[in-house]
Structure 1
């Protein structure tokens, strides 16, 4: 009765198993690398005030900060002069500063969160609960940690939210 083995594994079957295991290993390593890069970006954004995360890529804003700095020099008669004529008008450098209608996910209420595309009452509550658990969001990308928000939903939301 037990003359035959229970399973017959041919070299072709073994090759398929090996290829599948290699594919799974490669996918696992890719996900680990992506998570590592996300954590590095979050850590850098939290420690250096001059970097920001835009569409998943970190950009350095220190060059922009140098362009908007002003120097106050005292003239011989005691008056102050500025090299930047728009120094007294902060919105002159950034015309969209007064028209920014994005919702700050660190201070948004339950109702404000529901006004975001793709966010219903359950997801809004999950965003608030996650915010309470972590203290505050340091990047919009952290919304991916909220159950129910995937990459597609985050891309729909990205233009409507901000972190301050």
Structure 2
């Protein structure tokens, strides 16, 4: 009785299936490449910011200890630090102690994002790196790069 199969797959149908599978594969590869580029950018930015943080901590510690010896290190503008006034000109916001209003003064941070930063801080205890802001909903790599020069972790 049954001479014909229940479903017929014509060459046109097979072509549509192949094109759909190729499109899905292409999209998957594009997302993987984009994610690897984001992770590379974060890793490169983290290397630059961690060295700046380390040198900043060394300067703070030596200034707080009241050491009278001068080092051969120069500030970014090429001047030698001579007194404690160079340390106190740091206007970056400490994300571990900042209030919602202080966080909103950062470019790219509104009231909702400021509250999310505070909520995440409560969840993890304290930030150990500026890069941890990537874990906050609404902060991506581009927003973090805008914020990086305005924030610090102490």
TM range (shorter): 0.5 to 0.7
Q: 1:120/1:57 Cα in 2 relative to 1: closer, same or farther (>3 Å)?
A: closer
Q: Is structure 2 residue 26 aligned with structure 1 residue 23?
A: yes
Is the Cα contact below 8 Å between 1:139 and 1:163 reproduced in 2? yes
* Shift, 1:100, TM fit: 1.0
With the length of structure 2 as denominator, give the TM-score of the two structures.
0.59
CA distance in 2, matches of 1:14, 1:4: 15
Which deviations, in whole Å up to 9, do the C-alpha atoms of 1:124-160 show, x marking residues without a partner? 1111000111111122222122122233322222211
Higher helix share: 2
Is the Cα contact below 8 Å between 2:38 and 2:141 reproduced in 1? no
CA distance in 1, matches of 2:130, 2:33: 22
With the length of structure 1 as denominator, give the TM-score of the two structures.
0.56
Which deviations, in whole Å up to 9, do the C-alpha atoms of 1:73-105 show, x marking residues without a partner? xxxxxxxxx9x9416xx9449985331100010
2:139 aligns to what?
Answer: 149
CA distance in 1, matches of 2:14, 2:133: 47
Higher relative contact order (CA 8 A, sep 6+): 2
CA distance in 2, matches of 1:35, 1:137: 21
Aligned length: 128
Q: Is structure 2 residue 70 aligned with structure 1 residue 86?
A: yes
- 1:9 corresponds to which of 3, 7, 13: 13
Aligned residues: CA RMSD: 4.0
Q: Superposed, which structure 2 residues align to 1:70-81 within 5 Å?
A: none
What are structure 1's unaligned runs of at least 5 residues?
42-54, 69-81
Is the Cα contact below 8 Å between 1:91 and 1:98 reproduced in 2? no
